[in-house]
């Protein structure tokens, strides 16, 4: 799961780098934007909160899917898990920048299709032996 955490963190670093700078929350600063560094750090703080809302459910989904994975072929398993891991990111549809949604969805898809090992839980020798 460390690979998922790293993929998630990389997505939020990229979001912080390419998303528009945030508006200064100070009520006296009328439509002043934060500096690049302050905006970047603000996106990283948002990323930590998003990990609790998106990352944690995704890890649970992947682990449960790995436990119940039986005789499903790896490409089909990856497709099913990809669809399931996109569910926690639904509320990013309401975010103020499209970069959050697109990059988070890209990170979820990249993890499940390229990085995630299949099967997640290796079978024992007794399970691998043919019956008969």
The predicted-structure confidence for 89-107, as pLDDT tens digits, reads as follows 988 888 878 888 999 999 9
Strand, helix or coil at 23? strand
42, 19 Cβ separation under 8 angstroms: no
Q: Is the pLDDT of residue 114 over 50?
A: yes
The distance of Cα 124 from the centroid of its chain, to the nearest Å, equals 30
φ/ψ of residue 33, rounded to 5: -95, 150
The pLDDT value recorded for residue 30 is 64
What's the CA gap between 62 and 60, in Å, rounded? 6
The distance of Cα 72 from the centroid of its chain, to the nearest Å, equals 23
7: which 2 tokens?
């993929």
Share of residues in the chain with pLDDT > 90 (%)? 38
47, 16 Cβ separation under 8 angstroms: yes
Crossing angle (nearest 10°) for helices 74-86 and 98-110: 160
């Amino acid at each position: 799961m460390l690979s998922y955490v790293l993929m998630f963190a990389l997505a939020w670093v990229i979001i912080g780098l390419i998303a528009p700078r945030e508006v200064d929350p100070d009520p006296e600063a009328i439509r002043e934007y934060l500096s690049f560094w302050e905006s970047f750090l603000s996106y990283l703080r948002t990323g930590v909160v998003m990990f609790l809302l998106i990352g944690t459910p995704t890890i649970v989904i992947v682990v449960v899917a790995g436990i119940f994975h039986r005789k499903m072929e790896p490409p089909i398993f990856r497709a099913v898990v990809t669809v399931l891991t996109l569910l926690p990111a639904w509320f990013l549809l309401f975010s103020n920048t499209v970069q959050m949604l697109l990059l988070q969805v890209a990170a979820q898809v990249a993890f499940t299709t390229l990085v995630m090992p299949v099967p997640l839980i290796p079978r024992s020798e007794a399970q691998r032996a043919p019956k008969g």
